[in-house]
Each structure stands twice: as C-alpha cells, then as structure tokens.
Amino acid sequence: MLGKPTFDPLQQPPLVQALLVALHTLVIHNSMEETSEGQTWTLDFVPQIRQIQTALQTAGIDATKPMLAPVRWADDESVHAGDQAQ
C-alpha cells in the first residue's frame, strides 16, 4: 500500500512541475478504453511514461513517492488570471 501523499508537484521548479504533472496525467489515462465513431481502442502511454520517468530520475527527482494530485482550486491564490479564463 502506498503511503500518504505528501510530495506536492506544484512546489517544484517549473520544469520538474511540468514533467510531474504530465507523468500524473499520462498514468491516470494509460490503458483507458476510448470509443469514437464505432471504433474502440486502448490508450497506451507506456513509452511516454518511461521517457518522463527517465528524465526525472536523471534530474534526481524521485517520481515513485506518493504525490498529491495536481489540483488547482478556483479560490487557489496560485492560479493565474489567464488560467481562470480557460
């Protein structure tokens, strides 16, 4: 069982933050089944996940520890005005 998530990706430098959020997003969506116009397929992000994990490991970032989900709430002061418009 994983420990309590305490590693906050939004507290990391911007490049590391971007890689951690991308990794989280790809892991969450990996192996999902998608259907469009009568065709169904399974998403496979394993090569991209491995590439990001290698990049983080090279930078000395431990991406295996439990991480807080990268959620930004509407009242979060760290949200930029441009982000709210999207």
pLDDT digits (tens, 9 = 90+) for 34-84: 999 999 999 999 999 999 999 999 988 888 777 776 667 777 665 444 444
The radius of gyration computed from the CA coordinates of the chain, to the nearest angstrom, equals 15
Per-residue CA distances from 20 to 12, 30, 32, 56, 73 (Å) = 9, 15, 20, 8, 18
Three-state secondary-structure class, residue 18? helix
Token pair 């430098």: residue: 13
pTM of the entire predicted model: 0.68
